[in-house]
Amino acid sequence: MIPRYSVPELTRIWSDEYRFDLWREIEVLYCEGMAAYGLIPRRAAREIRAKAAFDVKRIERIEERVKHDVIAFLTDMSGRIGPSGRYLHLGMTSSDLLDTALACQMTAAGREISMRLRKLRSALRRAALRHRRTPMIGRTHGMYAEPLTFGLKLLVWHEEITRALARLEAAIEEVRVGKMAGAVGTQTHIDHRVERYVMRRLRLATAKATTQIIQRDRHAAYLASLALAAASLEKMALEIRSLQRSDVGEAEEPFTRGQKGSSAMPHKRNPILCERICGMARIIRANALAAQENVALWHERDISHSSVERIILPDSTMLLAYMIEKFTWIMSGLKVNAKRMRENLERTGGLVFSEHALLRLVERGLSREKAYEIVQGAAMESMRTGRSFRDLLSRDARVRSLMSAEEIEALFDLGAHFKKIDFIFKRTLAR
């Protein structure tokens, strides 16, 4: 991932130093496990623990010659250990080391993302409660529909992030799996007790049956959870972009002191962060597809998945962590124009209360078809002429024959739309 969109914690997890340190620890634990069950001398395991070290630059130089990163690593480290270094990797295949280390990296990266999702969820909760009673117009098909509150919109987002968090944590558990199973998964040259020893100390589950590798449906599920979380962030960012449009003006991402908008038009305050989030979501979705392509490999393993994972796993986790941080900042400083929300709500002249009128006329004995005809007729005339829907309905003789003036006026009570808001908040936030 390019530095512009990097997150320090994720950069560290996907660094060569972090990866080689995991490899070192796995190889050392493997030797200690073999020593614990009398398969190699205990003094050799102690020497390996004391002397195991590596040099990233030297590994890179060796790899240029041998064209194999694991062999380059083992060559460097065993040379530092001396004769006891011959016990490193004994009976293992490269994927025992690679996939077990990758499980540790994916778990660590997933937990960083999980922590950030929790912070975002808290920010959404605070904003939802703050705007629980802030009225605005709801839109379906891009058209004015019925009133709701901005807080309810944010509460829906809060719930979506809760689901994203649950999916991610389930996916973390699915990839938190290591193996020491050998070249084709038979454990021919590996004691299963040693495998168990290593996994317990790494706090990983043990894959019960494998080929040479951990099966990639696990990794695909992990990437899918990242892609779904990114899609939710895109949805939220897209909504803010829509609400920030000049002709809407209901909400706006933060615009900091000294910030510039358009290079040509000084008056502009563009929703650049929300646009950035929308763009980044496309990358993570594409990466999730690549992860699914990695599931089908030849026989017990081929290497076609490896190069893909070296790109999609660091990039996807890094991007998502970055997106969450930015959107949390947006939500913490979101500018909400409640006055404009109210103005947009009221500019229809009461059209948004059409369902109230329809239902009351049905209650008074009209067929639904007849009631719909009356209400739609008044609504269409209102839109055509600019006259108030409220006025047109109150002047309709058929409506006046069934309802008093006070009852007609009550149709346009905004509070009636919000009578269940507190109930919805209570049942949603009760955990």
Catalytic residue positions? 141, 262
- DSSP bridge partners of 336: 251
CA 109 from centroid of its chain's CA atoms: 13
Using an 8 Å Cβ cutoff, are 107 and 172 in contact? yes
CA 13 – CA 3 distance, rounded (Å): 15
Report in angstroms the alpha-carbon separations of 73 from 19, 23, 171.
11, 9, 30
Q: How many helices (H) and strands (E) does the chain have?
A: 18, 6
Report the alpha-carbon distance of residue 186 to residue 189 in Å, rounded. 8
H helical segments located in 82-147: 94-130
Any idea what DSSP says for residue 142?
Answer: T
Task: List own/partner pairs for 424-429 with CB under 8 A and 24 or more apart.
Answer: 424/152, 424/155, 425/128, 425/129, 425/132, 425/151, 425/155, 428/155, 428/158, 428/159, 429/125, 429/155
Strands 251-252, 177-178: pairing is unpaired
Which are the contacts of 118, defined by CB distance < 8 A and separation ≥ 6? 165
- Collapsing DSSP to helix, strand or coil, 83 comes out as helix
Between CA 411 and CA 375 the distance in angstroms is 12
Q: Going by C-beta distance under 8 Å and a sequence separation of 6 or more, which residues neighbour residue 280?
A: 5, 230, 319, 322, 323
Rounded CA separation 133/378 (Å): 29
How many C-alpha atoms does 160 have within 13 Å on its Cβ side? Answer: 16
**Is the CB of residue 287 less than 8 Å from the CB of residue 229?**
no
DSSP per-residue string spanning 67-81: --HHHHHHHHHHHHH
